[in-house]
Structure 1
Amino acid sequence: MSVPARPCFHLAVPVDDLAAARRFYGEVLGLSEGRSSQKWIDWNFHGHQVVTHLAPSSASPMHNPVDGHDVPVPHFGLVLPVPEFHGLAERLRGAGIRFVIEPYQRFAGEPGEQWTMFLTDPAGNNLEFKAFADESQIFAT
C-alpha cells in the first residue's frame, strides 16, 4: 500500500467484531487490507486510510432530514465517479447489503445534483457513497 501524492484523510471507526469488519470492508467493499493487529485493521479506502478499531459501541443514533430522507449522523464515505457509484451499488445489492437509504438521485436539476446511498457496516457505523453529475458542483451552494 503506497502513500498517495495528494493529501488523504485518516479515519478511525469503532467496531465490535474484527472478523465481521474484515468480511465487510475486505470482501463486500473490496478494500485492500494494510497492517493489522488483534485490535485493529488498516484499510485502503480509495487512497485514504480507514482503521477499524475493536471498541465497544456507545453511540446513540441521530438523524438529520435531507431531501425527504432521515440521514444518519455521524457518517463517513466517499465521492465516486458516477459509473463506480453504480457499480458499487450493484456489488452491495449482490452481497445482500440492506441500505439505510437506497441509492437514488438527489437534488435533480439543482446545484449539487448527485447520486447517494447510505448503509452501515456490521458494527453499525454509517457510510455514505455519492457521485455528482458534475464534480465541479461538489461544493456548490
Structure 2
Amino acid sequence: MALSPFHLAIPVYDLATCRAFYGETFGLSEGRSSAQWVDFDFYGHQLVIHEHPKTATQDSAHTNPVDGHDVPVPHFGIVLSWEEWEALAERLKSFGTQFVIEPYVRFKGQVGEQATMFLLDPCGNALEFKAFKDMSQLFAK
C-alpha cells in the first residue's frame, strides 16, 4: 500500500536549537525555511517546526499508562522497519539522548508486539519511534 506523505507542523520556542536537533541528531534533510519556520524531510513526510511561545504541553506533559510506562501525550513519530529502528536507537544513544522511555520491546508475545522509544525535542515536544517485526500487527486487535 502506497502512503501519501503527511504534513505536521509543531510549535518550538527555540527555533535554532530545534533546527540543529532535527537536522543533526536525526540527520533530517532541511527543505524551505524562513526566520520563523523550517521544513524537514521526516522519513518522507513533511515536518515543519514553527517558532511559537512555549505551550502548556511543552512545559508539563500529560501521560497515560501503556505497558507499565507513562507515555507522554500528545506525541508524534514514525513507524520504521526493525533495522531502521535499531539504527536510530543506536544513533540517538550516541548523541547522549535522554529518553522518556528507553528503547525496548513492548507487548512481548502479544498482539501488537513492537519496539518503541520516546524522547522529547529541546522544546518539550514528545516523539515516539516504533517498529514491528510483523507489519501486519500495526492495526491488529
Question: Which segments of 5 or more consecutive residues in structure 1 lack a partner in the other structure?
Answer: none
Q: Please tell me whether residue 24 in structure 1 is matched to residue 21 in structure 2.
A: yes
The CA distance in 2 between the partners of 1:15 and 1:9, in whole Å, is: 19
What is the CA distance between 1:58 and its match in structure 2? Answer: 1.8
TM superposition outliers: structure 1 runs of 4+ over 4 Å: none
Given the alignment, which residue of 48, 56, 59 partners 2:56? 59
Q: Please tell me whether residue 15 in structure 1 is matched to residue 15 in structure 2.
A: no
Q: Give the AA of the match of 1:26.
A: G
Question: Which segments of 5 or more consecutive residues in structure 2 lack a partner in the other structure?
Answer: none
What is the CA distance between 1:6 and its match in structure 2? Answer: 3.9
Q: Normalised by the size of structure 2, how large is the TM-score?
A: 0.94
**Matched length:** 137
Q: Percent identity?
A: 64
For residues 1-141 of structure 1, the aligned pairs below 5 Å read 6-60=3-57, 61-141=61-141
Q: Normalised by the size of structure 1, how large is the TM-score?
A: 0.94
The CA distance in 2 between the partners of 1:71 and 1:86, in whole Å, is: 20
